[in-house]
């Protein structure tokens, strides 16, 4: 993702946009809040406003570059890999794992159909306690 990729999406290749992309690409595994991205930029010595980060993330979402998730009322962002997946979250250490299950996806389609709905999206989050050695920890 670079200068010309942004233009291809109809977005001016501005410094803040390029830097936000850098941060997201450097955290391909993770799920970052706007605040997370903002702080990463400050730490990198960038001069950017939090409002701009919010705006840029929303634009990226609209452009299909980024996916916004709503975890407990807070927005978390991740690059859109193109492959849909859902999440399982440790309520103790906050770790987020990804999974995708064809059976569940299929059933959802059917359920929507049975209720006279045309699915546009869905959100499935499983909460639990992971058994990692470094867990339990307090959530972020």
Partner DNA sequence: TTCCGTAATGCGAATCGTTCGCATTAAAGA
Partner DNA sequence: TCTTTAATGCGAACGATTCGCATTACGGAA
Binding site for DNA (CB under 7 A): 3, 7, 11-17, 33-35, 47-52, 54-56, 58, 74-75
Using the rule CB under 5 A, is 98 a contact of Mn ion?
yes
Binding-residue pattern over the window 89 to 108 for a copy of itself, x denoting contact by CB under 8 A:
-xx-----x-x-x-xx--xx
What does each C-alpha distance from 109 to 102, 120, 139 come to in angstroms?
11, 10, 33
- 125: nearest Cα among 60, 21, 31: 31
Q: Which does 111 bind (CB under 5 to 8 A by kind): Mn ion, a copy of itself, DNA, none?
A: a copy of itself
- Cβ-based nearer residue to Zn ion, 48 or 88: 88
Distance CA 4, CA 9 (A): 9
- Cβ-based nearer residue to DNA, 27 or 105: 27
What SS3 state is found at 94?
Answer: coil
Contacts of 42 (CB under 8 A, 6+ apart): 48
Q: Which does 34 bind (CB under 5 to 8 A by kind): DNA, Zn ion, a copy of itself, none?
A: DNA
Residue with tokens 């499983």: 126
Q: Which does 13 bind (CB under 5 to 8 A by kind): Mn ion, DNA, a copy of itself, none?
A: DNA
What SS3 state is found at 40?
Answer: helix
Residues 73-132 that bind Zn ion (CB under 5 A): 90, 92-93, 95, 130
């Amino acid at each position: 993702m670079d200068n010309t990729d942004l233009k291809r999406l109809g977005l001016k290749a501005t410094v803040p946009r390029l830097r936000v992309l850098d941060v997201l690409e450097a955290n391909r595994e993770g799920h970052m809040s706007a605040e997370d991205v903002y702080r990463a930029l400050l730490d990198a010595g960038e001069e950017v406003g939090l409002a701009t980060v919010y705006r840029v993330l929303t634009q990226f979402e609209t452009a299909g570059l980024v996916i916004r998730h709503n975890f407990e009322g807070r927005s978390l962002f991740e690059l859109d890999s193109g492959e849909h997946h859902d999440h399982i979250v440790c309520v103790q250490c906050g770790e987020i794992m990804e999974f995708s299950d064809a059976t569940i996806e299929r059933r959802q389609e059917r359920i929507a159909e049975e209720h006279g709905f045309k699915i546009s999206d869905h959100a499935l989050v499983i909460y639990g306690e992971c058994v990692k050695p470094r867990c339990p920890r307090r959530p972020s």
